[in-house]
Amino acid sequence: MHINKILKFYMYFSLFVAAVAMTSYVPSVKMYTSSFLAGETSVVQDQEQQSRLITSTMPVEDYKSHSVVLTLSGNPTMNFAFPGDKNVKALDFSLKSFDADLYLEFVNFKIGGLDPSKVEKIYLMDGENTIAESGVTGGYARFQGLFLNVPAGTEKVIAVKVDLSEDSSTGERLHLTIDKKEDIKLFANGEEYSFGDIFPLEGVYLSVVRSRGR
């Protein structure tokens, strides 16, 4: 009786050892097991990395809610003007808001590329409406008290246009620059906004040319 139990135990034990040996040494079984375990580990690592990324980017939400894009872009249809031309578009001045209501109090443009005295007047235009106009003093056109609002999630594009004097020199190239942080004052959600170290912010060139017929 005891001998039969011992024989059965030995037989079961031998079958178990053989099964373990087969699982361990059959290449396809080992490969599947390894790849499955590695894949499971990889998923866990990806989840951990994703959690770290989410944690690290959470502050961006707060930054983005108060972020502003300020752009000076060129005239896509014409980048030249004639001496004496009036109401010539020099550039587009744009403010884009994400989640903050913006209020532009003032902006100053520094005249570069030609004698500032050759620029008679500069205008800020919202479509066909003139928002403000300025002469040039000390090499600057200063636009104070603009009261320009840009609601959250919108963009305001302002055309900056110039009047050139008749004695503007051909071959010169006018460009307007927001030279330093003190040349613009903007509020976001009622608090003064800082653009950081982006100045001077220089616009594209407007070349002064003379046609053959002039």
155-211 residue pLDDT tens: 999 999 999 999 998 899 999 999 999 999 999 999 999 888 889 999 889 999 876
pLDDT given for residue 16 in this prediction:
52
The C-alpha torsion from 138 through 160 and 115 to 195, rounded to 10°, is 60
CATH class of 68-208: mainly beta
Average pLDDT over residues 86-100: 92
pLDDT given for residue 211 in this prediction:
60
pLDDT given for residue 92 in this prediction:
93
Instruction: Please give the structure tokens belonging to residue 192.
Output: 């003064």
Nearby residues of 43 by Cβ (< 8 Å), 6 or more positions away: none
> Count of residues for the chain?
214
Report if pTM > 0.85: no
pLDDT given for residue 24 in this prediction:
41
171-186 residue pLDDT tens: 999 999 999 999 999 9
Tell me the C-alpha distance between 146 and 60, whole Å: 30
Domain ranges of the chain: 2-63, 68-208
